[in-house]
C-alpha cells in the first residue's frame, strides 16, 4: 500500500551533504546516541547485501540488492530519496554512493519521525479537548443554569499555519519564525514563535479566555 511522504525540499545555498547529511541542531545527547546506533545497523545491513560506503549504484541496482536484505525497506521512499539526490549528484550521473544514500535515508527517517511526533501530539491535544467538552456538556445537562452564568471560558487550540508558500505575498524563508496573536474581550495571548518548515509552522498550543456575558 502506498504511503504519504511530505515533499523533499532543498535550499539552493546548501550542498548535497548539508541538505541531506548534516544532523539537525539542538538534538539531545541520548537521541544522538540512538541515531548513531541506528546508522551503524543500517551500514551493516547494507554491507550484508553488497552495498558498501564507496559503492556506486543505480536505482535499479540499489533496489535489487535491498530486496535481498533481511529487513524490509519502503521502495517508494527509496525511489523518492534516490531521484532527489541524483539531481544533485557530484558525478553528474544517476549513480550514488552507498554512504550518500545511507546518510540521506537516515535524515529522511528523522524528518518523518518529527512529522509523526507532531501528529501524535496534535491527536493527544484533540483528545484532551474532546474529553473536556464532554465533561462540560455533562455538567450543563446536570445544571442548565450554569450555562448562563456571569463568566465562562473560551478554549482555543492553535495547531498550525499551513500553505505559507501558497500565499499571495513572497514565500517565507525556511526557518523564519512565526507566532499567532489572539485577542478576545481585551485579553491578548500570543503563541510561542515557531519556525517555518516546508511552508508550514507547527505550534500546537491551547489557550483559554475568560468570557463575560454581554448584558442587554
pLDDT class of 17 with cuts at 50, 70, 90: very low
Count: domains in the chain: 2
pLDDT(136) > 80: no
Confidence of residue 42 (pLDDT cuts 50, 70, 90): confident
Q: Using alpha carbons, select from 57, 141, 37 the residue that is nearest to residue 99.
A: 57
For residue 130, is it within any domain?
A: no
Give CA separation, 94 vs 77, 145, 170, in Å: 17, 72, 34
Q: If you count them, how many residues does the chain have?
A: 216
pTM comes to: 0.47
Q: What is the mean pLDDT of residues 112-123?
A: 82
Single out the residue in 69, 97, 113 at which a domain terminates: 113
Give the chain's end-to-end CA distance (angstroms, integer).
59
Quick one: 21 exposed, middle or buried, by C-beta within 10 A (0-12, 13-18, 19+)? middle
Judge whether 128 lies within some domain: no
The answer to whether position 4 is within a domain reads: no
Q: 178 — phi, psi (to 5°)?
A: -120, 150
- Confirm whether 142 is domain-assigned: no
Say whether both 74 and 21 belong to one domain: yes
Domain holding 81, by residue range, is: 16-113
Distance of CA 119 to the CA centre of its chain: 8
Provide the strand spans (E) within the chain. 56-57, 96-97, 151-161, 177-178, 181-184, 187-190, 194-195, 201-212
Indicate if the pLDDT at residue 14 is higher than 70: no
Domain identity same for 84 and 153:
no
Q: What is the pLDDT of residues 160-216, one digit of tens each?
A: 777 766 655 566 677 788 788 888 888 888 888 888 877 787 887 888 888 776 544
The pLDDT value recorded for residue 88 is 59
Distance, CA of 198 to chain centre: 9
Same domain? For 171 and 97 the reply is: no
| DSSP code of residue 147 | G
Using pLDDT thresholds of 50, 70 and 90, give the confidence band for residue 4: very low
With pLDDT > 70 as the criterion, what percentage of the chain qualifies? Answer: 74
Q: Is position 10 within any domain? A: no
How many CB atoms sit inside 10 A of residue 197's CB? 17
What is the grid cell recorded at 210? 475568560
* CATH code, 35: 1.10.238
Domain stop point among 113, 139, 161 = 113
Q: For the chain, how are helix, strand and coil distributed in percent, rounded to 5?
A: 45, 20, 35
Which residues, including other chains, have CB under 8 Å from residue 146's CB and lie 6 or more apart?
139, 140
Burial of 96 (0-12, 13-18, 19+ CB in 10 A): buried
Of 113, 139, 165, the residue that ends a domain is 113
**CA 166/CA 176 separation, integer angstroms:** 16
**What local confidence, expressed as pLDDT, does residue 166 receive?**
61
Amino acid at each position: 500500500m502506498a504511503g504519504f511522504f511530505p515533499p523533499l525540499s532543498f535550499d539552493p545555498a546548501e550542498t548535497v551533504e548539508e541538505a541531506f547529511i548534516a544532523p539537525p541542531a539542538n538534538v539531545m545527547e541520548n537521541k544522538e546516541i540512538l541515531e548513531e546506533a541506528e546508522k551503524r545497523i543500517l551500514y551493516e545491513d547494507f554491507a550484508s547485501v553488497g552495498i558498501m560506503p564507496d559503492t556506486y549504484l543505480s536505482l535499479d541496482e540499489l533496489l535489487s540488492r535491498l530486496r535481498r536484505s533481511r529487513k524490509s525497506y519502503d521502495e517508494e521512499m527509496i525511489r523518492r530519496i534516490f531521484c532527489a539526490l541524483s539531481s544533485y549528484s557530484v558525478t553528474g550521473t544517476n549513480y550514488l554512493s552507498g554512504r550518500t544514500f545511507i546518510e540521506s535515508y537516515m535524515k529522511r527517517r528523522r524528518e518523518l519521525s518529527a512529522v509523526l511526533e507532531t501528529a501524535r501530539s496534535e491527536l493527544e491535544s484533540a483528545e484532551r479537548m474532546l474529553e473536556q467538552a464532554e465533561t462540560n456538556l455533562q455538567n450543563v445537562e446536570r445544571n442548565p443554569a450554569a450555562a448562563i452564568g456571569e463568566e465562562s471560558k473560551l478554549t482555543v487550540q492553535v495547531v498550525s499555519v499551513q500553505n505559507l508558500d501558497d500565499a499571495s505575498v513572497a514565500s517565507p524563508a525556511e526557518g523564519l519564525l512565526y507566532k499567532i496573536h489572539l485577542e478576545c474581550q481585551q485579553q491578548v495571548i500570543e503563541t510561542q514563535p515557531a519556525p517555518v518548515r516546508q511552508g508550514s509552522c507547527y505550534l500546537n498550543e491551547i489557550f483559554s479566555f475568560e468570557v463575560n456575558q454581554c448584558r442587554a
